[in-house]
A and B are shown apart, each in its own frame.
Chain A
């Protein structure tokens, strides 16, 4: 099948020309010959990036701020031209980058829909057919004939999103625009995006929400300093990116005001989960269970702190977090090893493998250490269960 989007060795160079003439007067001044003219510094915002997205596939892009993600998006949306390499796209593209960019404040919602669609390359006749659908999706029916300048920012973004997804794009480029709107609308947006994916559209998602990249994307790309640092299955890419982030945070938190290096001073030595059957690391759904965390304080003084435990599925989906910080369960970490136990009377998880992350905070809520996948356990039963949790229930017939 033909590729929907193809980027081959794409690079973008910016020149930091501090002396670039930006006015006519400046230009005239520059025409006076001078012997020394500072050479423009340049840097590569994106260097040698290649990827391919086939029809109906999705790609998540992660990376720090300033890593070149936005430049890459600009290249993809063709608002910028690559310095080297080429980008090829087929089909209609719609970008959810800045929702409602190009809306005119003095125009009503309805007028802006037509105008925005025509910028996206849709004829008036075509957009008028899906007008009702757009208005209903954005949930702004009562305000559709009011100038957009009176809209709240949420309404503005909802309308922008609605137009962008109703132009039937074959490639959808999503930047972190979904941080707008309330949770219900965000969910609706995600549902809509994935409905489009099921009907054959390809998706590029740029996000700092690593969890959703891990769960929702088919492939992932990690960009750092303009170059591809990792690619492949989202779980692996996000894992290595997380590892990188922790390293840098650890390096940064080694600042003088933090006593010693907390990473080595406080450790999570072991995490065990015990159910009824005494068989370690395996419980049955609905059983009481105990999570036992063995902590080590390698320093010589006792400190006060909190422990938080989060249970994840191996694909990254966080199932539950039990936080001592939230429950205000302060503990004293005496020098040496100590156990913290969390007792749950009923553990209603569905069958499967789970991982446990443990984080230790000091009494100010600063993170001392974080142990990813510090322990694993299984939930096993004879019955077949699906989903993530089980809900105790009974049937009634009236």
Chain B
């Protein structure tokens, strides 16, 4: 009984570690729900007016894969080893699009919600996070298309493909970091969107999306794979079609990049956050 009296007495003193953790956990749960609601809103807004619902999420990679496989597979005879070039390319594009689309929609998410930001307080970091998760939902639909293609072409797939899940976690962490960075910088420099579009285009061509990074001279291969997205894409493809990670060291470097990007991006975002209301 003495303990309950102690608890009453404690209420007036500064909160205990335990109660602080509980409070933190509660507000975290709240913000997670907000992220979910915002992501769902994002998805719904995107597809509410299109007749076939989610069909843009599926059409986009299909058309891109079609045109690229014509240009690179038929015209330039790109080699993709044992698997058909269309499947090879679609795999790369599906994972790359998750990254690129997330960055693009996160970049404009703070400026696009200016009216809401000026009136209501909530942790601003929720917005780019929700953008990234909305694009992740898109990704799940385009992954279905990829699976259909793999089945159509009778491409053998390995059980290691299940390791894609933790690898996606790594990719999302890297994406979030970059999303925080660009979203906050875009508030200060409004033409960041243009720059991001340009950077992503160059980035895609120097990443093994449309070609394999392996079978090049070792310097070039190393350079391509040191690029965090290169290492991640290579590993993702390997896990599905090869059955083991062929370039393990570069996966570690990608993990380091992801950690760095996440922490750094979040730090920049937190640093610039107080300026948002003033600049907008």
Which residues does A use to contact B, with CB under 8 Å?
A: 14, 21-27, 74, 77-81, 95, 97-98, 101-102, 104, 106-107, 111, 114-115, 118-121, 123-124
Supply 15 further A-B pairs (C-beta < 8 A) apart from A80-B274, A80-B277, A102-B116.
A23-B189, A24-B194, A77-B119, A79-B277, A101-B116, A101-B118, A101-B120, A102-B113, A102-B119, A102-B120, A107-B45, A115-B38, A118-B34, A118-B37, A119-B120
Chain B interface helix/strand/loop/mixed: helix
Complex formed: what's the CA distance from A77 to B121 in Å?
Answer: 6
Complex formed: what's the CA distance from A79 to B273 in Å?
Answer: 10
Q: Does B244 contact A (CB under 8 A)?
A: no
Contacts of A104 in B (CB 8 A): 41, 45
Q: Is B190 a contact partner of A79 (Cβ separation < 8 A)?
A: no
User: With A22-B188, A22-B190 given, is the CB distance from A114 to B37 under 8 Å?
Assistant: yes
Chain A interface helix/strand/loop/mixed: loop
Complex formed: what's the CA distance from A25 to B194 in Å?
Answer: 11
User: With A98-B115, A104-B45, A106-B45 given, is the CB distance from A79 to B120 under 8 Å?
Assistant: yes
Contacts of A98 in B (CB 8 A): 115, 118-119
Q: Does B191 contact A (CB under 8 A)?
A: yes
In angstroms, how far is the closest chain B Cβ from the Cβ of A89? 10
Q: Is A79 a contact partner of B191 (Cβ separation < 8 A)?
A: no
List the B residue with the shortest CB-CB distance to A147: B48
Complex formed: what's the CA distance from A151 to B130 in Å?
Answer: 27
Partner of B119, one of A26, A97, A107: A97
Which residues does B use to contact A, with CB under 8 Å?
A: 27, 30, 33-34, 37-38, 41, 44-45, 48-49, 113, 115-122, 188-192, 194-195, 274, 277-278
Contacts of B48 in A (CB 8 A): 106
Q: Is A21 a contact partner of B189 (Cβ separation < 8 A)?
A: yes
Complex formed: what's the CA distance from A23 to B45 in Å?
Answer: 29
Q: Is B119 a contact partner of A79 (Cβ separation < 8 A)?
A: yes
Interface core residue of A97, A102, A111 (most chain B CB under 10 Å): A102
In angstroms, how far is the closest chain B Cβ from the Cβ of A372? 37
Contacts of A23 in B (CB 8 A): 189-191
Interface core residue of A79, A95, A98 (most chain B CB under 10 Å): A79
Contacts of A106 in B (CB 8 A): 44-45, 48-49
In angstroms, how far is the closest chain B Cβ from the Cβ of A96? 10
